[in-house]
């Protein structure tokens, strides 16, 4: 007699075996390809670090604008992450390996030009924010710089993630993307050290804890 329940119970096992077989074939086919974090994933991971840093700037800027003192060392520490990770590594990788090929093929050309202008503007804002934080000055000028930085990079990051990076991904062949991912990892270790990203992430977490904004629960509205 046909046992429907027993018959259906075979499907998870068969599916698992099928997945394992497919994974084995895929692993074999890609044995010679780079298996680490992809190039675009590397940049978007950097955007996650950038977003958490922007939250710090946003919170600090609003507190300063309301006349509440904020430890300037925390702002300087966050600015250091923007300079040493975002501008020294992340943006230089974008310009060299993402923007340059897109310019050559005239893909998203106007957007790429504006993004490069924003890189320069971000660098200048970081210098001003760092200088004011190191001097201990807290006032409308510093709050304004922090607000300008946050606004620009929110647009900047959203445009890259939804317009520029997908266009680049569609433009490049899989082989080129695999080679680029390996290049990104090599350059990251060369420029930032073996655990460069992790170090900057820990620095941002330390600042979040000092400001009382570490953890998802700090952003959940009390309804």
Burial 56-80 (b: 16+ CB within 10 A, else e): bbbbbbeebbeeeebebebbbbbbe
What are the DSSP calls for 121-170, one per residue?
Answer: HHHHHHHHHHHHHHHT--SHHHHHHHHHHHHHHHHHHHHIIIIIHHHHHH
Contacts of 27 (CB under 8 A, 6+ apart): none
Residue with the larger pLDDT of the pair 197 and 107: 107
Binned at pLDDT 50, 70 and 90, residue 217 comes out as: very high
| pLDDT the model gives residue 15 | 44
Pick the range with the lowest mean pLDDT from 2-11, 25-34, 91-100, 176-185.
Answer: 25-34
DSSP-derived letter for residue 89 is I
pTM of the model: 0.80
Any idea where the domains of the chain sit in the sequence?
38-213
pLDDT tens for 149-205 read: 999 999 999 999 999 999 998 988 767 778 888 888 888 888 888 787 899 999 999
Do residues 203 and 81 touch, judged by C-beta distance below 8 A? yes
pLDDT tens for 17-37 read: 444 444 444 433 433 443 556
Whether the predicted pLDDT of 96 surpasses 90: yes
Topology of the domain covering 38-213: 1.20.120
The residue-averaged pLDDT of 59-87 equals 95
Binned at pLDDT 50, 70 and 90, residue 38 comes out as: confident
Other CB atoms within 10 Å distance of the CB of residue 168:
25
């Amino acid at each position: 007699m046909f046992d429907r329940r027993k018959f259906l119970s075979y499907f998870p096992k068969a599916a698992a075996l099928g997945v394992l077989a497919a994974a084995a074939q895929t692993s074999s086919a890609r044995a010679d390809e780079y298996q680490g974090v992809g190039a675009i994933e590397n940049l978007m991971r950097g955007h996650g670090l950038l977003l958490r840093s922007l939250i710090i700037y946003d919170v600090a800027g609003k507190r300063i604008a309301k006349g509440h003192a904020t430890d300037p060392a925390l702002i300087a520490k966050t600015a250091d992450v923007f300079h040493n990770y975002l501008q020294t590594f992340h943006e230089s990788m974008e310009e060299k390996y993402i923007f340059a090929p897109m310019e050559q093929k005239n893909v998203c050309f106007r957007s790429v030009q504006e993004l490069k202008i924003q890189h320069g503007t971000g660098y200048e804002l970081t210098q001003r924010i760092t200088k004011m934080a190191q001097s201990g000055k807290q006032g409308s000028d510093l709050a304004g710089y922090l607000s300008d930085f946050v606004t620009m990079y929110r647009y900047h990051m959203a445009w890259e993630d939804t317009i520029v990076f997908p266009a680049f991904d569609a433009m490049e062949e899989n082989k080129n993307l695999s080679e680029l991912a390996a290049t990104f990892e090599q350059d990251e270790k060369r420029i930032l050290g073996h655990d460069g990203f992790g170090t900057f992430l820990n620095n941002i977490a330390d600042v979040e804890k000092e400001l009382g904004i570490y953890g998802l629960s700090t952003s959940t509205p009390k309804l």
